[in-house]
């Protein structure tokens, strides 16, 4: 995984970076090479719809990636949704459980249909 410095920041036509695609593809974020080369430089970048890698991972249920993307907690997409809301809408209960306490602490959990369901 060799990238020139500028290449890792390049976005495609939808605004996605390599980190967005890694989240969608279930890449192991625990790899030292991955952490050093991509993750630290791309965390927090949102695509044209405002989606972050955490939002994509949560919506797809890639719970093993969530701990490595928690810096993105609190980001909202163009429809004002957080990773927690996207995970709830996609019925990804494990992702909801991981994100619930974090977003609650950040006071950013917002209702779906007028109520956020406590995952407990």
| Residue predicted with more confidence, 82 or 10 | 82
pLDDT band, very low/low/confident/very high, at 1 (cuts 50, 70, 90): very low
Please tell me which residue, 73 or 116, carries the higher pLDDT value.
73
The alpha carbon torsion through 4, 45, 30, 100 (nearest 10 deg) reads 180
The pTM of the whole model exceeds 0.85 = no
Q: What are phi and psi of 43, to 5 degrees?
A: -60, 130
Per-residue confidence (pLDDT) for residue 78, from 0 to 100: 97
Burial of 15 (C-beta count, 10 Å sphere; 0-12/13-18/19+): middle
Q: Contact at 8 Å (CB) between 21 and 57?
A: no
First-last CA distance in the chain: 40
Tell me what pLDDT residue 62 has: 93
Domains (range + CATH), the chain: 7-105 (1.25.40.20)
How far apart are the C-alpha atoms of 78 and 31, rounded to whole Å?
31
Q: Is the pLDDT of residue 110 over 80?
A: no
Contact 69, 43 (CB under 8 A): yes
According to the model, what pLDDT value does residue 93 have?
97
Mean of all residue pLDDT scores within the chain: 80
């Amino acid at each position: 995984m060799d990238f020139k410095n500028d290449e890792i920041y390049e976005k495609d036509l939808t605004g996605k970076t390599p980190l967005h695609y890694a989240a969608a593809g279930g890449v192991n974020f625990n790899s030292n090479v991955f952490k050093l080369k991509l993750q630290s430089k791309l965390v927090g970048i949102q695509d044209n719809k405002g989606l972050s890698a955490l939002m994509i991972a949560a919506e797809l249920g890639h719970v093993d990636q969530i701990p490595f993307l928690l810096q993105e907690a609190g980001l909202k997409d163009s429809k004002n949704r957080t990773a927690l809301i996207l995970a709830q809408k996609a019925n990804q209960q494990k992702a909801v459980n991981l994100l619930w306490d974090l977003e609650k602490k950040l006071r950013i959990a917002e209702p779906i249909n007028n109520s956020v369901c406590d995952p407990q």
